[in-house]
Each structure stands twice: as structure tokens, then as C-alpha cells.
């Protein structure tokens, strides 16, 4: 536990304290007082940790809520919060949860994942990394897609590290996770409504402000709802080089998810017009995945092409190919370079890609 944590939090979370302090553990999952799992190396493991009783676990969750000025009780049975070290917490209490209080803690990584570590972990090839540097340098709009815990935020962090130091970057997040290293970074965070349902600030509200604060780049932690339409309009009106993440199971599905989220804005827009906006706004989809052996990789980089017959088209630039599972359980394969991006010639003129 971070030394900045209040003493009462340290005491209440004592049964899992060693896991909170272990940097190799990425997630702690509590399914009632006697069932605690951890994620290490992309794999879940049962532990022998346990809380003394359901009231003890409930008190720990309630005190996390108290530490951030929120309430977790029968009237407010769900909690989104952050520990003092930045770790994300979500909790649900009975009767919504049938096995007792349920808590998920997504650990905040003190060590920032960088481009060198992506290569070291085998998450991408050198050619793929050079392609991503080029995409960012050319101010292409990028969506990082993938499933839960596939490494989307970490990859977004690496992509943002390629932004030139003289650019003004505005970062919008539900909970601060990104660790941008540029000098001119302005970060914003949403705010939950109070107990009376007032005072909430959403990503849509933050986008409205950000567009009036002269951004060179917009970096949005995650697209989940109607803010997708605001982002699409921003990207189609001159805010090139922006990036965000979205939950999706494949690069093409990323575009459909953006479409669905935009429809949640409550603004009536014809599907054909919306698809044209999506295809025009997003230049590149970077897709991440957590493979069966627990490894996380950038499994595809695809360029978004103009619509054809009202349908989305993707040009696959790079992809991971799995060949076999080794005796130790690891997946073996290779990153394959596919088609050249349509902007390759321009990139060579700018010295961002080597000659043919």
C-alpha cells in the first residue's frame, strides 16, 4: 500500500496488503470475504487470503468510498473509486451481489510501459513499432481497441510518448491512468454526481471544454457512450492526431462499437451519415489482445479506408500469427507485415519511413 494511504485504509485492507504492494500483480479480485484471486502475468490465481467476515469486508469497501468522499451502502450499492496510489476500485454489495461484497482492484503501475518494453515483452515487432511512430508523427487519428485487460491503456500510453514535445496535449479520463511524459500536458478527470444526482461532469462535458482550450492533440482514456459523437465531430473538424481506446473484439468491430456509442448521444443522425463520419474520422485502428498464454500483444494494425457501398473497409498493415503452443504453454508465432499504408509515400518524403 502506498505510504500516502490513510492509516484506516491500511488497517481495513490488511488481508490483501501484500498483493497491493506486489508490483507483479496487476489485479486483485475479491468475491466475498473468503475468496480472493490475483492476476499475475496475465493469469488468475487463487490465494489463501481472507477477510475475517462479510462485515469486515463491507467495512473495508465502505472506507475506500469514504476516502474519496463517496458512499457505499444499501442506497448506493455500487462504487467506482481510486486508492491513493491511483489503483482503480469497483465494488458491489449485497443484495446485488449474491456471494457477499465483491471488489475488483486494478493496480496502478508505478513503472510506465514504454516502447522498449513492448519490444522486450514481444508485444510488437521493431517494424510494427516503427509503423506506430510514423502513424503518430503524421497526426493520424488512432483508436486502440481490445478486450478487457488486453493492455489498451498501456498501448495508448506508449503511443502518446511518440507525440512531439512542443505540442499541447489535452488528456480526458474517467480515472487518471495515463502517464504522459511531454512537457505541455493538461489533464482532466470526470466527476461523479453527488448523493443528490447533481454536479456530475462527463467526458462529453470535458470534450466541450477541451475543444476551446487550443489542443494540438486530444487523448481520451476510453470511449464508452455518447461522447463518441462529440469526438467524431472534433476529429472531422481539424483536430488531427488524436487518440483514444474502446472495447472491441476485432479492428472492424471497433468501428461498429464507435457507431453504436455515437448513437447513444441521443442525437438523431442517419446511419449512412454516421458511418461516413466514423470512416472519415478514424485513420488507424491498433488492436490489442490478451492471448491464451496470458501474454498481451498488439495483434493487428489496420488503416481505415473510405466506405464502399456504405460498408467499412480496413487495410491490414500488420498482424500477429500464432503458429503453435510450446511445451511450456507459451504461444509461438510471428508478426507479419501486410499491406503498406496509403500514406507510405508521404511518410518517406518526410523521412519517417525508409525507402522501398
Taking only the tens place, the pLDDT of each residue in 221-237 is 899 999 999 999 989 88
Instruction: Please state which CATH class domain 7-106 belongs to.
Output: alpha beta
Q: Is a pLDDT exceeding 50 seen at residue 247?
A: yes
The two counts, helices (H) then strands (E), for the chain are 11, 15
Cα 238 to Cα 287: distance, rounded to the nearest angstrom: 25
Cα 288 to Cα 59: distance, rounded to the nearest angstrom: 37
Q: Is a pLDDT exceeding 50 seen at residue 313?
A: yes
- Interhelix angle 271-281/227-235, rounded to 10 degrees, is 60
What average pLDDT score do residues 244-268 get?
Answer: 95
Q: Is a pLDDT exceeding 70 seen at residue 349?
A: yes
Residue (of 234, 241, 287, 239) closest to 262 by Cα position: 234
How do strand 142-146 and strand 284-290 relate by DSSP bridges?
parallel
Q: Give the H/E segment covering residue 267.
A: none
Instruction: Please name the fold of domain 115-349.
Output: Rossmann fold (3.40.50)
Selection from 82-86, 196-200, 341-345 with the highest mean pLDDT: 341-345
Pick from 20-24, 81-85, 238-242: least confident: 81-85
Q: Is a pLDDT exceeding 70 seen at residue 344?
A: yes
Cβ neighbours of residue 341 closer than 8 Å, sequence gap 6 or more = 131, 134, 135, 284, 303, 315, 317, 347
Q: What average pLDDT does the structure give for the chain?
A: 90
Are the C-beta atoms of 202 and 191 separated by less than 8 Å? no
pLDDT digits (tens, 9 = 90+) for 155-171: 999 999 999 999 999 99
Per-domain residue ranges of the chain? 7-106, 115-349
Residues, the chain: 356
Beta bridge partners of residue 105, listed in sequence order: 28, 89
pLDDT of residue 353: 80
Cα 268 to Cα 144: distance, rounded to the nearest angstrom: 27
C-alpha cell at 320: 500477429
Tell me the torsion sign for CA atoms 335, 123, 80, 68: negative
Confidence tier at 7 by pLDDT (50, 70, 90): low
Please tell me which residue, 354 or 264, carries the higher pLDDT value: 264
pLDDT of residue 88: 85
Cα 300 to Cα 263: distance, rounded to the nearest angstrom: 26
Beta strand spans in 126-240 (E):
142-146, 169-173, 185-189, 217-220
What average pLDDT score do residues 331-349 get?
Answer: 93
Cβ neighbours of residue 131 closer than 8 Å, sequence gap 6 or more = 301, 317, 318, 341
pLDDT of residue 3: 45
Share of the chain above pLDDT 70, in %: 96
pLDDT digits (tens, 9 = 90+) for 258-270: 999 999 998 999 9
What average pLDDT score do residues 7-34 get?
Answer: 88
**Residue 247 Rama label (left phi>0; alpha psi -120 to 50; beta):** beta
What average pLDDT score do residues 277-291 get?
Answer: 96
pLDDT of residue 110: 67
Cβ neighbours of residue 91 closer than 8 Å, sequence gap 6 or more = 61, 64, 65, 72, 78, 79, 81, 101, 102, 103, 104
H-assigned helices in 288-327: none
Are the C-beta atoms of 251 and 287 separated by less than 8 Å? yes
pLDDT digits (tens, 9 = 90+) for 94-149: 999 999 999 999 887 766 778 999 999 999 999 999 999 999 999 999 999 999 88
What average pLDDT score do residues 172-177 get?
Answer: 81
pLDDT digits (tens, 9 = 90+) for 47-92: 999 999 999 999 999 999 888 878 899 988 999 887 877 788 999 9
pLDDT of residue 218: 94
pLDDT of residue 5: 52
Cα 325 to Cα 293: distance, rounded to the nearest angstrom: 9
ω before 226 within 30° of 0 (cis)? no
Half-sphere exposure of 179 (CA within 13 A, CB side): 10
Amino acid at each position: 500500500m502506498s505510504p500516502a494511504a490513510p492509516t484506516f485504509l491500511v488497517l481495513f485492507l490488511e488481508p490483501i496488503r501484500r498483493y497491493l504492494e506486489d508490483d507483479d500483480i496487476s489485479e486483485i479480485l475479491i468475491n466475498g470475504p473468503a475468496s480472493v484471486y490475483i492476476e499475475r502475468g496475465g493469469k488468475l490465481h487463487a490465494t489463501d487470503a481472507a477477510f475475517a467476515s462479510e462485515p469486515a469486508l463491507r467495512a473495508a469497501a465502505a472506507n475506500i468510498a469514504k476516502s474519496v468522499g463517496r458512499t457505499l451502502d444499501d442506497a448506493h450499492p455500487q462504487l467506482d473509486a481510486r486508492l491513493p496510489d491511483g489503483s482503480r476500485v469497483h465494488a458491489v454489495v449485497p443484495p446485488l451481489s449474491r456471494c457477499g461484497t465483491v471488489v475488483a482492484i486494478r493496480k496502478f503501475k508505478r513503472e510506465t510501459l514504454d516502447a522498449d518494453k513492448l519490444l522486450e515483452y514481444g508485444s510488437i515487432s521493431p517494424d510494427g513499432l516503427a509503423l506506430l511512430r510514423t502513424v503518430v508523427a503524421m497526426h493520424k487519428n488512432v483508436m486502440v481497441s481490445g478486450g478487457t485487460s488486453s493492455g489498451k491503456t498501456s498501448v495508448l500510453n506508449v503511443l502518446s510518448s511518440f507525440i512531439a514535445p512542443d505540442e499541447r496535449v489535452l488528456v480526458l479520463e474517467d480515472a487518471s491512468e495515463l502517464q504522459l511524459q511531454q512537457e505541455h500536458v493538461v489533464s482532466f478527470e470526470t466527476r461523479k454526481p453527488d448523493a443528490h444526482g447533481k454536479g456530475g461532469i462527463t467526458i462529453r462535458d470535458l470534450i466541450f471544454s477541451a475543444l476551446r482550450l487550443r489542443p494540438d492533440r486530444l487523448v481520451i482514456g476510453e470511449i464508452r457512450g455518447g461522447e463518441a459523437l462529440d469526438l467524431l465531430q472534433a476529429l472531422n473538424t481539424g483536430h488531427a492526431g488524436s487518440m483514444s481506446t474502446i472495447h472491441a473484439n476485432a479492428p472492424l468491430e471497433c468501428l461498429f462499437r464507435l457507431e453504436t456509442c455515437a448513437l447513444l448521444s441521443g442525437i438523431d443522425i442517419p446511419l449512412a451519415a454516421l458511418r461516413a463520419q466514423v470512416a472519415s474520422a478514424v485513420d488507424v485502428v491498433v488492436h490489442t489482445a490478451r492471448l491464451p498464454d496470458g501474454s498481451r500483444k498488439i495483434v493487428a494494425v489496420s488503416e481505415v479506408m473510405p466506405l464502399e457501398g456504405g460498408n467499412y473497409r480496413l487495410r491490414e498493415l500488420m498482424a500477429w500469427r500464432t503458429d503453435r503452443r510450446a511445451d511450456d504453454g507459451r504461444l509461438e508465432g510471428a508478426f507479419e507485415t501486410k499491406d503498406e499504408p496509403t500514406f507510405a509515400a508521404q511518410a518517406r518524403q518526410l523521412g519517417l519511413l525508409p525507402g522501398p
